[in-house]
Structure 1
Amino acid sequence: MTDIPRRAVSRTAKLASLPLGLAGRAALGLGKRVTGTAADLVSAEIQQRTAEQLFSVLGQLKGGAMKFGQALSVFEAALPEHMTGPYRAALTKLQEAAPPMPIASVHKVLADDLGPRWKRRFAEFDDTPTAAASIGQVHRAVYHNGMQVAVKVQYPGAGPALISDLNQLGRLANLFRVLQPGLDVKPLVNELRARVTEELDYKLEADTQKAMAKAFAHDDEIFVPKVYSGSERVLITEWLDGTPLAEIIANGTEEQRDLAGLRMATLHFSAPARAGLLHADPHPGNFRLLDDGRLGVIDFGAVSRLPDGLPEPIGRLTRLALAGDADGVLSGLRDEGFVPRSVDVDAQAILDYLLPVLEPIGVDEFRFTRSWLRSEATRLANPRSDAYQLGKKLNLPASYLMIYRVTLGSIGVLCQLNAKAGYRGVLERWLPGFAD
């Protein structure tokens, strides 16, 4: 058996162990109940053990399992408070690191893509990776011109592994309801699968990063590292120092949290206007707060291409909603396909559905918190709520799907940061239609 099939079998076995482990813990819980252990304590213990196994397995894998875990970690802030303790540490680990690949494999990829004399490109090359993520890992080096650089090297066989993991995770979707009963991960898995081809092409990522770096050159809020070279599986960029957002989430000062949140919002709304691109992977591992207050941004494998910027109806309909124009909002939502023509809904009910979500931009300053996000998640996802019943009648047009997911993911990070800022001012500056 070759190494690649052997690794594939190992990966599948690890993923397959998840539901078996859950069944065993459920049986253990039943036994404890029979012997008189309090039900709430048993449930908490099962949740904790399940979380530990779930994210331990995801953390040991690369490809789709790791990428899925990183994407899911953004939504940690929406989990009920009594559940977040067991999950938070495991989730945060997925935002920054994964097990590294052997250095011999790294050298082989570098030789295949850069040529047998690849070492001549570097004055120094550190064989110990500084970061390892879902489809590649990063090494620090000194380029031949003396510049400090980051060398991102793709894992051999990353493409087949990515697809295999995502297919397996799609079949295990029900398991993730351990995190939250109403959690449906299938749309997230499907979207990650659809982005596989682009993310595996480091040449395309290099072109995207160059466009972003040009758009934000000499900017005093956002910093994008320069690209030196990009091949199919190797990307060489300017080295980026700074404090990782995961560290700020865990131990940052209030000033750092607020500034990081403001900068993330600025990136989200300004990049489509300035570069025609939306950074579509908003997990904390992709951001650094620099000493000069700028937000450093890395990893441009996942982007949404918006050559005309964010759609004008988003800003216009948000403005109408905040102004209380229920009829105007309903009419606009029908025009954009959010409310099917065949569906009969009350305009005021639609406005009441939207206004709580728009609270952060209805005031001059707002602090995003986990409790706010949990409250909104409960309101919108509780089958017994009026908002849930109304939501079932609405539609999310395909052209808005990526924007919606990235916005939701960014909000999740802002809530993890507990960040306060003038988000309304960011929209007034950058969102078409909002300030008209």
Structure 2
Amino acid sequence: MGKTTGIIGTAAVIIVVAGAAAPWYTGKQIEQEFRHGMAQVSDSAPTQVIDYDRGWRTSDAVTRTVIETREGPLQIDVHHHITHGPWGFGWARIDSTPDFGDQQAAVAHYFGDQPALEATTTVGFGNDVNIDWQSPAFDDTQVPESPDARLAWGGMKGHYRLDGDRTESSVSIPSLDFHSDDATLTLKSLKMDSSGAGGPDWPNIDNFWDARFKTTLGQLNLQDNAEGVSLKLGLDGQGQLRDNGDDGLSMNASWQISNLLMKDPELAEPLIINSATQTLALKHLPREATRTLLTELAGVDDSLDEDQVTGQVQNIMTRYLLEALKGAPSAEITVAGLNTPQGSLEGKLALDFRPMDTEGKPLATALERGNLTLDMASDRTLLMHLMTLSDPDARPEQTLQGLEQEGLLARDGDRYRMDIEMNSQDLRVNGKSHPELYMMLPLLLMSLNG
């Protein structure tokens, strides 16, 4: 009995010692992973660990991120309280709260004693990572910089999960209301969900392209009286990106717009859309070129001025187009039920390329391989309205009459129709050949290549 008791006692001591040592050991590992993770974050936003106080069961750390703004650099310190596992939550739990430094008093004006943002990160036993964050709501509050302005915030909740090379994320914002004598911004029911490939090794993982996303917006209302600009709309969009093996990559997306109203000084009159549905389908996209495209777009230097950034993006997209045209890509765009007070419009555009040897001359052979079809129908009043939107001096009656005489528009009661077919030999509009238009296409491609 005494021997048995001794064995049990020794085992109990070992268990207690192991249990006491486990948080200390995992604390060392967590610190290494924490510092490594912050170094990766720093690739996109300069971030460094300025303090790390490691204890037995818990640690405390402070990271500093500097964000460049038009008013100068904005410094944000984030305080992290780290609980070491192994416990029920996994290997580690990190509670993070930002400190906005010189701007903290301004933030406290709205949130009071509550943190403006809180995040909780857990690392599970399978090394899966879950992050939950929230921002508390606050009621209608005066904006100190603008005595006539008021701001109300409906709060925010978000979730992110990383498991291997798969990610899931969601963000929801119930409401945002800003009102002043000169401007109004109202946002209702914004929700964004996505899932797919991700993680520290993206986009170098094999299934980098696989993803799904969905966005819904109940209402957006923006009005700037000083600039004479107004925008109202509701939005529901979704899409899927897939890797189809030997068939390359594909993307399918659709979005629905409701109750759109746009006013702008450059528009002769407001643009109003009651509802509209559009779809986009891209197929046979080159895998490695697409990987390069995403990497280069993510690396665009946004500290440059607008023209320089636009030039960089255009160069990136042109190089990608050249690579894509070496294969046999296809695109299909549909507009189903574009309904306005002036009438409706429906249409479908399809473009595909036959496989062919394009070594060294992808654009030169584009006409030989390309097939394009366009089917569009619109109410006459809507076409006239669109013509006068950007040019109040336009003469839509004469323009439509001329297009009809040339055979580019076909009259069907109060509606116009346009059917275009283009192949390697001809371009036909509403069944009639137009060699003069066909001969202009090489000039367009040459300008693109330049």
Scaled to the shorter chain, the TM-score interval is: under 0.3
Structure with greater strand share of residues: 2
TM-score of the two chains, using structure 1 as the length reference: 0.26
TM-score by length of 2: 0.26
Instruction: Compare the two structures and name the one with the higher helix fraction.
Output: 1
Taking CA–CA contacts closer than 8 Å with sequence separation of 6 or more, which of the two structures ends up with the larger relative contact order?
Answer: 1
